[in-house]
Chains A and B, each alone.
Chain A
Amino acid sequence: MIRELFTKKKQAITIPSADAKNDVPEGIMTKCPDCKQIILTKDLIKTAKVCPKCDHHFKMTAWERVECLFDENTFESMDDHLKSENPLKFPSYTEKIASDSEKTGLNEAVLTGIGKIGGNEVAVAIMDSHFRMGSMGSVVGEKITRAIEAATDKSIPVIIFSASGGARMQEGVLSLMQMAKTSVALQRHADKGLLYISVMTYPTTGGVSASFASVGDINLAEPKALIGFAGRRVIEQTVREKLPDNFQTAEFLLDHGQLDAVIDRRELTETLSKLVGLHVREVK
């Protein structure tokens, strides 16, 4: 089953870029949105989807992260069977979920599971912004909560990769309450003296930013990741001034004391492996 998912992932890796010229066969070449460099897609994968010329970090799917992160064949996903409902009966919500599920091969906007990093077992939740902008509804909240609880039960660290526009509007106040649900689970994990690392990626905003993403024992972020609570346009309208270009970037947050470090994705696995290693406790 795992092999099957890996095959699927290879399809997802092709970056469907509308900008790609028609004479280039789809997916073979990828154009960097920042420096416009044309890169061979297979080369891009070797560099963890970071542009070799300008260090632009491309968006990653959850399964691509799994492949970069874990010791070979150690990751096992969990709760892939949970299904979103349509509690507020929003028109076309069910169809949108189905179509994103089809597109990403995920049951919801987060992939969770347990695997080994540098030989140490960790639980992870990896959000995927290709699924409803990574927004958090009941299933996302439940999957993350179960991953944290699994970590608490096994006394292992938990790492959460955030990539989310915030709360899932179509689930109303239920999605707001997922912020509280994940928090009560994290509190239990913390109470046991266990490590929680938050990795904020593009984008980490709204309710996700205002809950688990911001309260890691260690808060990391990828370069230039958009991180913030309120939207830039809303703030500009409220304060009636133009905001600096770097406002709500990872670097801005580092300057303002909200992050422990900004880590280039090509060094992220090694960094996480080192941090987890630093927190290993001898089992009697």
Chain B
Amino acid sequence: MSKTLAFEEPIVKLREKIDELEEFTSTNEVDLSDEIGKLKTRLSNLETEIYSNMEPWDRVQVARHPERPTTKDYIAELFEDFMELHGDRSFGDDAAIIGGIGFFESMPVTVIGHQRGKDTKENVKRNFGMPHPEGYRKALRLMKQAEKFGRPIICFIDTKGAYPGKAAEERGQSEAIARNLIEMAGLKVPVVSIVIGEGGSGGALALGVANHIHMLEHSTYSVISPEGAASILWKDASLSKQAAEAMKITAPHLKEMGIIDEIIPEVLGGAHRDPKAQAVEMRKVLKSSLDSLCEMDVNAIIDDRYNKFRNIGVFSE
């Protein structure tokens, strides 16, 4: 059983009760199958009700679930003959961003994504998915390589944000992010970005200047974490639940604002419940994105990306 989130408590309690009754019937000569059947129906109703009425803060919890599938999990499900490529060719290899080449539906593609760990050891290695400048520079190197060989680029966004460290500043993390934005704008190949967990600020956007942006149903995309927003706006990090609400960071909100293209439905309870089934849903959306983008010529691809971002903003004249 995976980690329970606060809003899931009623489901867990009911399930425990059912288990108890089943245990009881197996050791005693009493037939409770009627009762158990009823409870099971109630459980499935309750699950549907709870999971289809999730608050923004509940989604944040699902997006941060330790077992939520990562870039590597989706790569294993979606691409054949994948080979990881390392290094930025000037400083090092940042394990917080991975990338490589492989086949998607028999088409060669470049895949890049933030990579966090699922346990402490891996999280230390991958810096909790928070990149240093060389991560963005590796990503850019692989994007330019994809452009050279005419391969579409698929980016998975899954980071709390850029790493707020001394070395990251010294090595120019502002420039590294900014360079990706401007270079991605001009890429001659289709780019599709999918937010699979948390999409935090500049560190996320550095893989996000795409023709199509999709979000998993319970992922988030924001200028700052709910905790950060709460401490800046109200000087109180404990108001993060309210901030998650106010900042409009969930997939439905971003869809409403016209920033993302598709919401990829998640399996009931979140992607971590069934990563394979989740990958199947993702494959459908990715395929339809690439099918439409691969028909465009180079200028149309660049113009399409330009127009997408050119039109974002709310103001009056």
Contact = CB atoms under 8 A, between A and B. Distances in A.
A153 to B, nearest CB: 14
Given A191-B186, A238-B165, 7 more contacts: A169-B224, A173-B248, A179-B181, A179-B202, A180-B309, A186-B182, A235-B169
Interface of B: 162-166, 168-175, 177-179, 181-186, 201-202, 205, 208-209, 221-224, 229, 232-233, 246-249, 254, 257, 259, 305-306, 309-310, 312-317
A179 B223 CA distance: 11
A3 interface: no
Interface size class of A (residues with CB under 8 A): 35 or more
Contacts of B209: 180, 183-184
Contacts of A170: 233
**Which of A171, A227, A229, A230 has the most chain B CB within a 10 Å cutoff?**
A229
Given A169-B232, A190-B182, A210 B202 contact: yes
Given A179-B181, A183-B209, A230-B162, A257 B313 contact: no
A256 B175 CA distance: 12
Nearest to A182: B181
Given A187-B182, A235-B164, A173 B222 contact: yes
Interface of A: 81-85, 87-88, 90, 138-139, 141-142, 145, 167, 169-181, 183-188, 190-191, 206-207, 209-215, 227-231, 234-235, 238-239, 241, 243, 247-248, 256-258
B175 A214 contact: yes
Given A139-B315, A211-B181, A176 B205 contact: yes
A98 B12 CA distance: 50
Contacts of A145: 310
Given A173-B223, A243-B166, A184 B312 contact: no
Nearest to B133: A229
Contacts of A248: 169
A138 B259 contact: no
A87 B310 contact: no
Q: Is the interface of A mostly helix, strand, loop or mixed?
A: helix
B30 to A, nearest CB: 56
Contacts, number: 178
Contacts of A184: 185, 209, 305-306, 309-310
A238 B164 contact: yes
A139 to B, nearest CB: 5
Nearest to A196: B182
Nearest to A88: B248
B257 A214 contact: no
Nearest to B202: A210
B177 A229 contact: yes
A176 B223 contact: yes
Nearest to B199: A173
B166 A180 contact: no
18 contacts: A83-B317, A142-B315, A169-B224, A169-B233, A172-B249, A174-B312, A177-B309, A183-B184, A183-B185, A188-B185, A210-B174, A210-B202, A229-B168, A235-B164, A239-B166, A241-B166, A256-B170, A258-B172
B178 A183 contact: yes
Given A184-B305, A210-B178, A172 B223 contact: yes
B306 A229 contact: no
A207 B171 contact: no
A180 B208 contact: yes
Contacts of B317: 81-83
Given A169-B224, A173-B257, A176-B201, A181 B172 contact: no
Which 4 residue pairs of A and B lie closest in terms of their CB atoms, listed nearest first? A230-B164, A138-B313, A183-B181, A187-B185
A242 to B, nearest CB: 10
B312 A177 contact: yes
Contacts of B223: 167, 169, 172-173, 175-176, 207
B202 to A, nearest CB: 4
Given A188-B306, A256-B171, A177 B246 contact: no
Contacts of A191: 186
Contact of B175 (A172, A175, A186, A215): A215
Contacts of B310: 145, 181, 184-185
